[in-house]
Chains A and B, each alone.
Chain A
């Protein structure tokens, strides 16, 4: 080695610590991780997903014109989401165990790099990989939508309407354990208050929708359908518009209606009251159960925001798998990642099932109080319901609701991704990601490399 090079190396070694050096190492590991995936031809998936999107054209003639857009959008977003999440799970699942089993970790951690830096570098490399994948797939999907729109005159226009959730929800009944409110016909209604609707973007007829939980009084049994009054009120003039809407319990469908745009005040405020029509009905709803939509926004930009949500979801699954892979084998960490993906996707279903469990338990307690036999032959034993409920609650605490990242579902209803939605998804991601990252860092930092 030449003396000049030796001197330069010693100078470099003297500066081998500090934030710049750590960032350099992070980038080196992230770039290596990205390059490994590229050389392993991971981007062949792009061709498969692209082919899947293009193949949707074969089904278009069988669908009515309004449904064609939905078909392409859902087809592409679902495919991209599944491939991205599963790709993240498999890449992350095999990555660290591969480094451990092939002992590449020996050569790595004997260099001036903390194990934690190596772990974060790996994570960032995979996130970069998924981001590139999503940008490519998003661009392909948008280009395809433009193309189909250009060649098919029946193809509907792509739209993205910002859907506004209320700022405040109040009501006379507050069910325990939820942020929902309830009301009966003889009480004040559930009130949804908007304080900051974008006043300049309110159409003459504001599309709105609601989802209500309908219960039969006095025993709070499920009721499949009922009528309810939707009363829109101008907060200053108190002008009202009332309409009777037919609802099915916990369903958005057939519950879309319009509110006169003039009822929104100049400073973007609007009040909505909901009351059941029949006296034996109790309705329950929360902040996520009512929304109005304003004028459409740029579809392409909105689509990319949606892809960002997919990236957040996939990153969370990736981080869970990567953290698990620091202490269990590749197959086990992959299984854990898949479990997280499936459970997160079924979060709403589990939540609703849990509410059902609670209702059944309340019913059991009521029957016990009233001296009615504890349960009929067809009922599930209460102790099993309690254990099941407790376990489900633990799972719900640990696993995020992927509904917040489910852009495909939003596309179905022309819903745009608002800044608030993005913020909510980011908070949901950041808190879980911080915990998962901490777990992964602690596990790898204290890991012995004995084999």
Chain B
């Protein structure tokens, strides 16, 4: 299946006013995201996560390499018509209310008035904003702003949704709701490109992940493949007594225990992340 997001040797060098190289934010990054999957993109602050996302969204021009979204250049209007983007902070016009905000963004997709109204009503209901739809965004709490920001990312029913820290600033209930929504998007066949610091969330909902550090992709693949510990095996028994635990393999057959599974154990994503970016050392607490 053709990838819906494709980066090949993507490099970005930030330059100063005089055109002199200032910072190499991204160094030859290559990745692919396939249709219908949730791809988690993680990395410490300043690792190149946001730069990658901006390049894939056409907000930046690459210094070298190429990026394709839905088979087109990220700056192509036809590609943009089929994507949604939730930025890390909610960059909205604070003088508009929820209805006006969604209507404005929907108009940029050239959606006709009747469809626009219907879609806005659905999104307002989905995000539980009926009570505040006529209030200006400047009066909203952070969570409400986040929900409207998410709603604008879905206003065109996109095929790919780019989410930058979607649960940032949300309380546990809203955060849970966001995760449910991401899984709901996957269930409806959407592709999600998720950048997040919440490793447990990424581990729980992503199909594949990429870990970026110092502008380079350090780990990349299915979550399970990355988390698996090849040198550890877990055996799971039923009806195994405490005493028998000490003599697990030798006594298993003798004690009549049934071997249910024998598998490698998994690390947590947090363990893998820290090992990748800090050489296995935990940061001082």
Known contacts A2-B122, A35-B95, A109-B59; is-contact A25 B85 (Cβ 8 Å)? no
What would 24 A/B residue contacts be, using CB atoms closer than 8 Å? A2-B122, A5-B118, A6-B157, A8-B114, A8-B118, A9-B157, A12-B109, A12-B115, A12-B156, A13-B109, A16-B78, A16-B110, A24-B107, A24-B110, A25-B107, A28-B107, A35-B100, A106-B85, A107-B105, A110-B59, A112-B110, A446-B61, A448-B59, A448-B60
At the interface, yes or no: B81 with Cβ under 8 Å from chain A?
A: yes
CA distance A7 to B152 in the complex (A): 18
CA distance A16 to B91 in the complex (A): 24
At the interface, yes or no: B186 with Cβ under 8 Å from chain A?
A: no
Within 8 A of A (CB), among B116-153: 118-119, 122, 126, 149, 152
The one of B89, B92, B93, B110 in contact with A25, judged by C-beta atoms closer than 8 angstroms, is B110
Residues in chain B near residue A5, CB distance under 8 A:
115, 118-119, 122, 157
CA distance A52 to B59 in the complex (A): 46
Residues in chain A near residue B80, CB distance under 8 A:
110-113
Residues in chain B near residue A40, CB distance under 8 A:
95
> Closest approach, in angstroms, between the C-beta of B55 and any C-beta of chain A?
10
A12 touches B112 (CB 8 A): yes
Query: What string of 1s and 0s marks CB contacts (under 8 Å) between A46-64 and chain B?
Result: 0000000000000000000
CA distance A312 to B130 in the complex (A): 44
For the complex of A and B, list the 3 residue pairs with the smallest distance between their C-beta atoms, beginning with the closest.
A28-B107, A21-B110, A8-B115
Name A residues whose Cβ lies closer than 8 Å to a Cβ of B. 1-2, 4-6, 8-10, 12-13, 15-17, 20-21, 24-25, 27-28, 32, 35-36, 39-40, 102-114, 446, 448-450
Known contacts A28-B104, A28-B107, A112-B109; is-contact A107 B157 (Cβ 8 Å)? no
B87 touches A103 (CB 8 A): yes
Residues in chain A near residue B82, CB distance under 8 A:
13
Query: What string of 1s and 0s marks CB contacts (under 8 Å) between B39-80 and chain A?
Result: 000000000000000100111110000000000000001101
Residue among B54, B109, B126 with most chain A CB within 10 A: B109
Residues in chain A near residue B14, CB distance under 8 A:
450
Residue among B80, B81, B105 with most chain A CB within 10 A: B81
Residues in chain A near residue B91, CB distance under 8 A:
102-107
Residues in chain A near residue B96, CB distance under 8 A:
32, 35
Residues in chain B near residue A16, CB distance under 8 A:
77-78, 81, 109-110
Residues in chain B near residue A8, CB distance under 8 A:
111-112, 114-115, 118
CA distance A105 to B157 in the complex (A): 21
> Closest approach, in angstroms, between the C-beta of A141 and any C-beta of chain B?
30
At the interface, yes or no: B163 with Cβ under 8 Å from chain A?
A: no
At the interface, yes or no: B204 with Cβ under 8 Å from chain A?
A: no
Residue among A4, A25, A107, A108 with most chain B CB within 10 A: A107
